Amino acid sequence: MSKTISGFSKLSKSKKIDWIANTYFSNQENAKSIMKQYWNSNEKLQQLHDEFIENTITNYYLPLGVAPNFLINDRLYTIPMAIEESSVVAAASKAAKFWLERGGFKTEVISTTKIGQVHFIYKGKKSHLETFFDVVKPVLLKEVKLLSKNMEKRGGGILDIELRDKTEDIADYYQLHVSFETADAMGANFINSCLELFAKTFKAEAMNFEGFNSEEKQIQIVMSILSNYVPDCLVRAEVSCKVEDLTENENISAEEFANKFVQAVNIAEVEPYRAVTHNKGIMNGIDAVVLATGNDFRAVEAGVHAYASRKGKYSSLSHAKIENGVFYFWTELPLALGTVGGLTNLHPLVKLSLEMLHKPSAKELMQIVAVAGLAQNFAALRSLTTTGIQQGHMKMHLMNILNQFKASPEEKETLVNHFKTHTVSHSAVVEALEKLRQ
């Protein structure tokens, strides 16, 4: 039976595991064995992992794969991808090879502005608040100089502070809307530290402002926090070629393939049920590289999906057209990424991944990540509009099914060969395996 525990965080890792195993598992020794099996034998490395988060009991591994042959702005990349889903790395690699022979991917960073906000309640006259803001804005920028000094040396800093009236949404609600440039850092800690200082200074200065009456002096700070919605931190990735050069599948002409492909993208632009799955495929590529490079895939996901809804309806993140006999396929994405700070300086595999990518700047990483998403989307749409998604996906899923039923190396070899010419399904694999074992 489950039970509460006091002082859990103060227990050693072994004691934490003992309590969890004794409380939740019928086979306690097996549970302990599995958790300890995933500890790293290198004590220093394990301690590093233990200190990433709180109450660590073990490590949860994901495969780190690579997708080679990406030509991006005429430079070759092998892209690291941390992901557990079958076929994602293979699909990205196949798309990379396809476009390698057609000029590769072209990318550009459109903008890199990030946003943070101080949310506050003010019950006085708006005109008084606007007068106060004009007076206090230079004070806010001066107060934060010490915090922003190092960021400014790296080419970043605070771009602007705006006062925003949100009283139509919530009574007496206003914001300090602050724009930042954080150079090669994702910048979350820098942004939040600046915002909290702004809030403290803003409230303190209000108490001494002669233009406020006693009620207006009582500005209530609700919270100060960065936003993961970054519509002005944009990157574009694109591929293009003559329609006639799209031919690769003997069962469909290049022109028919191009038209079906564009129609598939058009459907995702207008149909939210399709757009969500369409964009999920894009995020398969994006998340895998974001995770491999030590960035926050949850923040990226939230920002990207908000961007997909910016016009009031959830829509496709990618677009396609045929113009004067040329096929174009592109995406514009909001990506707030970093190559310094956080896990980028701590996790050994993150360091390895970044070195594999030629030690990119944050802007270069934005472009690489966008390409991974576009490549993944191209591969998925190519399958959907030709052979269907299941043919390739299920063949990649074959090994998972065989491992589930503890197939031997010999059995795996036999069945992999068998399913080169047979349709893969869970029941078909189980039946073939049982037949082989008889």
Positions marked active-site: 85, 280, 296, 393
Sort 40 into a burial class: Cβ within 10 Å, 0-12 / 13-18 / 19+.
Answer: middle
With a CB cutoff of 8 Å and minimum separation 6, the contacts of 401 are: 426, 429, 430
- Phi/psi for 143 (5° steps) reads -60, -30
CB distance 185 to 338 below 8 Å = yes
The two tokens of residue 223 are: 């919270």
- Phi/psi for 157 (5° steps) reads 135, -165
CB distance 401 to 430 below 8 Å = yes
- Rounded Cα distance between 154 and 408, Å, is 55
Report which of 108, 63, 67 is spatially closest to residue 356, judged by C-alpha positions.
67
Q: At what angle do helices 362-384 and 389-404 cross, to 10 degrees?
A: 100
- Rounded Cα distance between 385 and 299, Å, is 31
The three-state secondary structure class of 65 is strand
Query: Checking DSSP bridges between strand 234-242 and strand 106-109, what pairing results, if any?
Result: antiparallel
The two tokens of residue 434 are: 């049982």
Q: Tally the residues of the chain.
A: 438
241 phi-psi bin (left φ>0, alpha ψ -120 to 50, beta other): beta
The two tokens of residue 359 are: 């030690």
The three-state secondary structure class of 78 is strand
CA dihedral 47→53→57→61, nearest 10 degrees, is -90
How is residue 105 annotated by DSSP?
B
